[in-house]
Structure 1
Amino acid sequence: MKKQMLDVIFTSEKRKNILLVLRDRPENMDTLLRLLDTKRTALLPQIRILEEHHLVTVSDGLYKLTTIGRLLVNQIFPLQTTINVFDTDIDYWGTHFIDFIPSHLMKRIDELGPCEVIKPHVTELYDINREFYDATRKSQSHYVVTTFLHPNFAELAIELINNGVALNFILAQDLWHNLLKNHNAVLSDFIQNELVNIFVYPEKMDFQFVSINEYQTMLALFKNNSEVDTKYLLCKGKDSFRWGKDIFEYYLKDSTPISEM
């Protein structure tokens, strides 16, 4: 008797992983064994079930998805990767406000890839994340949407500029007014620099910051009760830059460019 298709795909981690591996390309048995880190005796029965349910076929020693298999995998793969994002730390995601993310990007949140919750010690609250900063130095462009700036933001920005990194800032309006009052000379220098673009967002920002380099995206969220949290997310998916750049563009369309003081 045939299994229900949901049972075929989801009740066996091994079967699900076979389908996900074959999503990219056909593979031979040796490659499947290596990628799935398993033995032939454990893998063959699961492949047989997938074949019996017309999800996988084999030809000339290569296992590949059938048309039905590809259709189903293209549906379940985004779900799996989305689950992986939230599985990083579901307590963090569940207790923090994420409704600021526009619906079209919420649907693509799987692009963030694996995210690590960074929990700085009280003595490290004002330390930069060295891994993220080093990745930014290797990037051509850096994008930030933020309600605050690091106490040493000017020094850090100058180092990045000297390294040839183009800096793009969308600042909360309150932050912009504070910078005008307390860092006028620094702002003037930045505005005149061709590698720096500054914009001001006129509405309330319901997050602390989103910072994007070409390798990682960092998000600091407010708690659901609007409290500030020192923990933040560091996401390293291969498409995290595209996702982060798109959220920057989303806030950019309602922001005002600053070309003079």
Structure 2
Amino acid sequence: MGVSIIELVCRSEKRKNLLVYLKDGPRNLAAIKKALDVTSTGVLPQIKLLKDNDILVQKDDEYELSIFGNIVVQKILPIFKLTNTLEKNPEYWFSRDISALPMQFMERLGYLGDSEVIEPDINSLFDPPQELIDHLLVSQHVIAITSYFHPYYAKHFIGLAKKGVEINLIFTNDVYERIAEDYGEDAEVFFGLDNTNVYIHEGDLPVVSMVCADGFFLLSLLNKKGIYDHNKLISTSEEAVSWGHDLFEYCYLESQKKE
């Protein structure tokens, strides 16, 4: 093997994209060129290099990962995804405090690569993103984690629950008591509905807030100064929604259901 594996796989964007594409199965040259938007002269030298180093094999007119190549891609793919996440929104990620996130979720930040940062202007600082409102209105299942009180979320979740939407929430005890105090009878109705489950987390939650609706994900984190600056990350990717559901499950296991 003429070059190191890391150099071979990571130092060329074309090779990286080719390997990620081929992880789903064999492809011919025409499919590769179309999917990666490359020319024959641009991709054939990369294919040859990967074949020469036993990362790819050719069977008839199709190229696929070798057994060794498949192992390499499976191990390095999380790094590709993480790099993509950080490079897409560097100002956001390098200004966030992620120290409270459990390690398994830090390691899977690559799942959040296909996300958009929402930075509200001064006139809408306390308003939830319109994208969240739109998705909540058409969702049948909503889960959320929140460590702070937001009057919109409380009011809207109560309205959704009364319409029959299945809602599962994890609060700190302070947030729960604030909702119970401020919303009185509405809160009692909300907490008593069969389609609503509320869980109290006694310790510090790893995020400011996280919401997953049907096909939608929202995340809020403190910045490195320990301040909530209202910047939010949103996504409609399956991987981001999966990350959110797994984080909810993690916090759920450390919470007590409010009866």
SS in 1 for 2:32: helix
SS in 2 for 1:167: strand
1:26 counterpart residue number: 26
Q: Which amino acid aligns with 2:114?
A: P
1:76, CA displacement in angstroms?
Answer: 1.2
1:97, CA displacement in angstroms?
Answer: 1.4
- Rate the CA distance shift 1:44–1:221 in 2: closer, same or farther, 3 A: same
1:2 counterpart residue number: 2
CA contact (8 A) 2:207 2:220 kept: yes
2:176 counterpart residue number: 176
2:59 counterpart residue number: 59
| 1:18-38, Cα deviation, whole Å (9 max, x unpaired) | 111101111111110011101
CA contact (8 A) 1:220 1:232 kept: yes
1:113 counterpart residue number: 113
SS in 2 for 1:229: coil
- The percentage of aligned residue pairs carrying the same residue is 27
1:255 counterpart residue number: 255
1:46 counterpart residue number: 46
Q: Which amino acid aligns with 1:124?
A: S
| 1:90-133, Cα deviation, whole Å (9 max, x unpaired) | 23222221122112222222223322211011111233322223
Residues 159-168 or 17-26, more deviating: 159-168
SS in 1 for 2:30: helix
| 1:46-101, Cα deviation, whole Å (9 max, x unpaired) | 11111111111111211111111111111111110111122232232222211221
| 1:133-157, Cα deviation, whole Å (9 max, x unpaired) | 3233343311111023432335422
CA contact (8 A) 2:139 2:165 kept: yes
CA contact (8 A) 1:215 1:241 kept: yes
- Rate the CA distance shift 1:157–1:126 in 2: closer, same or farther, 3 A: same
CA contact (8 A) 2:114 2:235 kept: yes
1:238 counterpart residue number: 238
Provide runs of 4+ in structure 1 moved above 4 Å: none
2:211 counterpart residue number: 211
SS in 2 for 1:126: coil
| 1:171-208, Cα deviation, whole Å (9 max, x unpaired) | 12211222222222121010121111112211233532
Q: Which amino acid aligns with 2:63?
A: Y
Q: Which amino acid aligns with 1:111?
A: Y
| Inter-partner Cα distance in structure 2 for 1:161 and 1:88 | 36
TM-score with structure 2 length normalisation? Answer: 0.92
Given the alignment of the two structures, is residue 188 of structure 1 paired with residue 174 of structure 2, yes or no? no
Unaligned runs of at least 5 residues, structure 1: none
2:139 counterpart residue number: 139
Coordinate RMSD, CA, aligned: 1.9
SS in 2 for 1:152: helix
Give the number of equivalent residue pairs: 259
CA contact (8 A) 2:101 2:207 kept: no
SS in 2 for 1:64: strand
| Inter-partner Cα distance in structure 2 for 1:138 and 1:32 | 37
SS in 2 for 1:239: helix
CA contact (8 A) 1:20 1:73 kept: yes
1:122 counterpart residue number: 122
